[in-house]
Amino acid sequence: MRRRTLVALMTLISTATFTACSTSSDDSDTAEQRSVTLLAYDAFTPQEGIFESFTAETGIDVNIVTGGDTGTLVSKAILTAGNPEADVLWGVDNTFLARVQDADVLDSYEAVDTGDVCINVHDAHFNNAGISKPFALADLVKPEYKDMLVVQDPRTSSPGLAFLLATIATYGNDGWRNYWSQLRSNGVKIVNDWTTAYTVEFSGSSGNGSRPLVVSYGSSPPAEVLYSDPPVSEPPTSVMESSCFRQIEYVGRLRGAPHPEEADLLVEFLLGKTFQESMPLSLFVFPVNDSAVLPEVFEKFAAKPENPLTIEADEIAANREEWIEQWADSAL
């Protein structure tokens, strides 16, 4: 009996392997069929069928290869610089850009989307307690907001780093360390990663945490609406716009790309109106193409700060390590 199960299992597996092999051999280039490979982070989940119009127009098939977070992607891209597995790289942001430039990974690159890292607020908590919501970073060090904020460690988390950069952009080189000392005195909680902060410590999402203020994304409120169970029409959270730090993601042609012409056509498509309009609901980022129209849930609930905080990629690259060491001294 047991042997029969084993045989069945082996048959199943060999069939599966065979199918996998035969499908992958279909991907190989033939003389007529052109193709291009896009390398992206795991969270790159474009709208289904979005590349069909590109293929119909140009005759080029698009293969999407994903692997890991942005950091993983950057590590892999640096290791394979000049001999890449793909043609186009999606998703390097302004905190990583300088590192990618140093390693000579890309032939050319352009901004493809923007997003913001902002303080998210659990509205009900403030309504129930009869306290007004904080409006500026300076509010967060006031006694009425004591023990309310949870942030990520900038040494281990990219939104954590973005929030540190937000404080540096706000208070400048002279003031930000003092601001963090005050945050510490006011009971800021520092955790390792976004997941812990948002889903465990924060009171406004899936966890049953105790802190009503968290560093997350400007697009987190619409995500709360789209992924709620049971469904809701309004998010339990809102965004503190003055705290938003702008993250810009880039798309570029990899140096040594096997299909450079196809790569350029794909980049053009990614910057075009069709793809740009699909990004908010599939990728939770904002388009850079001015002609793209935003979906309603984004219009209503996502943060659209007029003057988001920002720091140049070169300056981030030059100072990152020093800032992080100074941060550890002031905040821990």
> Using the rule CB under 8 A, which residue among 167, 196, 247, 278 binds other proteins?
196
198 binds other proteins (CB under 8 A): yes
What single letter denotes the amino acid at residue 322? E
Candidate list 229, 290, 296, 322; residue touching other proteins; CB under 8 A: 229
Stretch binding other proteins (CB under 8 A), from 138-146, 156-164, 244-252, 295-303? 156-164
Enumerate residues 6+ apart whose C-beta is below 8 A from 194: 152, 157, 158, 159, 160, 215, 216
By CB under 8 A, is residue 7 in contact with other proteins?
no
Nearer to other proteins, 16 or 136 (CB): 16
120/303 Cα distance (integer angstroms): 10
**Residue span binding other proteins (CB under 8 A) among the ranges 110-118, 124-132, 201-209, 299-307:** 201-209
Backbone phi and psi for residue 183, each to the nearest 5 degrees, phi listed first: -60, -40
CB 127 to other proteins: min, Å: 20
The radius of gyration computed from the CA coordinates of the chain, to the nearest angstrom, equals: 23
Residue in 29, 52, 57, 69 binding other proteins, rule: CB under 8 A: 69
Q: Site for other proteins (CB under 8 A): which residue of 155, 184, 300, 304?
A: 155
Rounded CA gap, 316 and 323, in Å? 9
Q: What is the largest CA-CA distance in the chain?
A: 75
Both tokens of 139, joined, read 């509010």
CA distance 264 to 242: 37
Write 290-297 long-range contacts (CB < 8 A, 24+): 297/222, 297/225, 297/226
Q: Does 18 bind other proteins (CB under 8 A)?
A: no
* CB 64 to other proteins: min, Å: 7
Nearer to other proteins, 17 or 33 (CB): 17
Q: Does 203 bind other proteins (CB under 8 A)?
A: no
Contacts 24+ apart (CB under 8 A), 230-234: 234/301
276 lies in the site for other proteins, by CB under 8 A: no
CB of 260 to other proteins, least distance (A): 19
Separation between Cα atoms, residue 70 and residue 92, nearest integer Å: 7
User: What residues make contact with other proteins under the rule CB under 8 A?
Assistant: 9-10, 13, 16-17, 20, 24, 42-45, 48, 64-80, 83, 85, 96, 99, 153, 155-158, 189-196, 198-200, 205-208, 210, 216, 220, 223-224, 226-230, 282, 325, 332
